[in-house]
Chains A and B, each alone.
Chain A
Amino acid sequence: MIRIQEEDFDLGDEYTALKKNSRSPGAIVTFTGLVRDLDGNEKITGMTLEYYPGMTEQSLAEIISEAKQRWRLDQIKVIHRVGKLVADDQIVFVGVSSAHREEAFLACRFIMDYLKTRAQFWKKETTTSGERWVDAKSSDRDSAEKWKQ
């Protein structure tokens, strides 16, 4: 299940829903990404997130589908926030349930690595010296590439 929304989400509610919707989960792994308050030494006061309605959902669905082909998983939930956020806000949630922890851990990490390099989201940071679009990081590309080996 995929949700792209401006509103915040509640980790407890998401965990409860994953547990309730899973058949016999031995493991639930969740990841939550937050807005950092520093980029290098510069203070980040806010962030605006843009996406491509239609295509972004499709890209996330493809990532989830690939995770399901690689591992035996039960439920998968991805939430990504868009619009205006401030430091410490929650941006992204990935929750995976599976019979075994190994698969849940791997799938959660895989989904995040691919989301960061394949899903159409763009961040614009507001700092004390103005606004700027965030550049894609080669470390994120390297993390995603590792899943191809």
Chain B
Amino acid sequence: MSITILYFARIKEALEIDREELDFEKDISTIQQLVSFLGLRGEKWQTTLAEKSILVAVNHTVANFSTALNDDDEIAFYPPVTGG
């Protein structure tokens, strides 16, 4: 399965990455499983992605940690919005 992950604002700076493509053979079928997988990269990833206020979108639609993942999905992690 192949997915694209985008990171925005505070999350992007904390993780020092704005975008990545991930291919995995492992069984990752939900956002929660993806977050656990990314958490294996270290403490910085675990704490940032465990922030209570973090928001997630799948293919430009607001999602949650139980949302299912599919091939070619675009996932975005971002903090609460502050525009206007």
A51 contacts across to B, CB distance below 8 A: 83
- Give a binary string over B44-78; 1 marks a CB under 8 Å from any A CB, 0 the rest: 00000000010001001000000000000000101
Interface residue stretch chosen among B6-14, B24-32, B35-43: B6-14
A112 contacts across to B, CB distance below 8 A: 84
Interface centre among A49, A120, A124 (most CB of B within 10 A): A120
> What distance in Å separates the Cβ of B31 from its nearest Cβ neighbour in chain A?
16
Interface size class of B (residues with CB under 8 A): 10 to 19
Task: Known contacts A50-B9, A55-B57; decide if A135 and B82 are in contact (CB<8 Å).
Answer: yes
> What distance in Å separates the Cβ of B7 from its nearest Cβ neighbour in chain A?
10
A140 contacts across to B, CB distance below 8 A: 84
Majority SS at the chain B contact face? loop
Do B8 and A136 have beta carbons less than 8 Å apart? no
- Residues of A in contact (CB 8 Å), total 27
A135 to B80, CA, bound (A): 8
Do B83 and A123 have beta carbons less than 8 Å apart? yes
In order of increasing CB-CB distance, the 6 nearest A-B pairs are A121-B83, A136-B80, A122-B9, A116-B84, A55-B60, A134-B82
**Contacts A92-B84, A116-B84, A136-B82 supplied; 6 other A-B pairs, CB < 8 Å:** A52-B76, A55-B60, A118-B81, A122-B8, A133-B82, A135-B82
Residue positions of A touching B, CB distance < 8 A: 33, 49-52, 54-55, 58, 80, 91-92, 112, 115-124, 133-136, 140
